Chains A and B, each alone.
Chain A
Amino acid sequence: MSVEDEGRRESDETVASLLDRVAHDVAKRLDRTARNIDLRQPLSASVAGMLRRDVFESRLADQLTRLVDELMASGADASVLEALRGSSSRLAALRPTDDPSRVVSEAVAIAEALRAAVRAHRPAEEGEA
């Protein structure tokens, strides 16, 4: 393996590790409550509180912003940076006053987008879903 190949491999591993650690955990937090809410029933106060903490008070958009900075420094390709920026923007656009069905569907959709980014950048031998 050439020095260039070795450097690229290390960069890929760093990017995969950062994505797995941060984006995966942000995705988990985003849909921890949202995925399990039954919108056909009124939200209980405790579940509404969990949803609010998960989506609006956990500073997940900030985590994604920091992740983008770290990934840029690690040489991540433009597509993953764009995907993460898109997820961060969608998350930042949500408001606690939004209709709960919008909050729930957006949280779940953003979580899935983040998981797709994590899977797409796993090392080849771990790339299966």
Chain B
Amino acid sequence: MSALPEPDSLAPTRPWVLVIEDGVEYVEFARAFLGHAFEFRYAVSLADALAVLEHSRSACHAFFVDLRFERAPLDALLGDVDAIASELFGGDTARARRWVKDQQGALILGALRERGYPQRAVFVHDFPRQRLANLARLHGDVRAVPRFDARAIEAALRGEST
């Protein structure tokens, strides 16, 4: 399990949200500015996220997901670079590696969906409208807030329209 764990000795008194990122910026932000509304648990990879989800006593309320994983080593990331290079980039593995890092949050979300976790997912990213619509078509309840705006992110995690 990753650093910055949320104590799980008691059932949470607030809904809990799983933060998925390769650093600590999201979870640090979330606990500082959204801790009144949610508890936050933290994962740095798909395996880590599944471990948290499977070992928690109560159901996760939502996912708070970083899109880009710049710092994680490539072998810790989800995605077969050679297959992606062949399918999307004409065999260019450098572009495929870049893509895997740039899309890691969406790849992890897709894998969570395949494993039966339908929770709302919130990204902090200024997506073009069509790209966000594509993500929602692929992954169900997906929302994006363009900046680290605590009120907007809280509303998105709650599923409120903004």
Which A residues have a C-beta under 8 Å from some C-beta of B? 21, 24-25, 27-29, 31-33, 35-36, 46-47, 50, 111, 115, 118-119, 122, 125-128
Contacts and interface: CB of A to CB of B under 8 A. Distances in A.
B149 interface: yes
A118 B70 CA distance: 19
Residue of A35, A46, A122 with highest tally of chain B CB at under 10 A: A35
A118 B149 contact: no
Contact of B130 (A29, A111, A126): A126
B150 A36 contact: yes
A21 B147 CA distance: 14
What is the interface of chain A mostly: helix, strand, loop, or mixed?
helix
A102 B90 CA distance: 49
B131 A126 contact: yes
Contact of B147 (A46, A115, A125, A127): A115
A50 B32 contact: yes
Interface stretch (B44-52, B107-115, B121-129): B121-129
A115 B146 contact: yes
B126 A32 contact: no
Contacts of A127: 128
B25 A115 contact: no
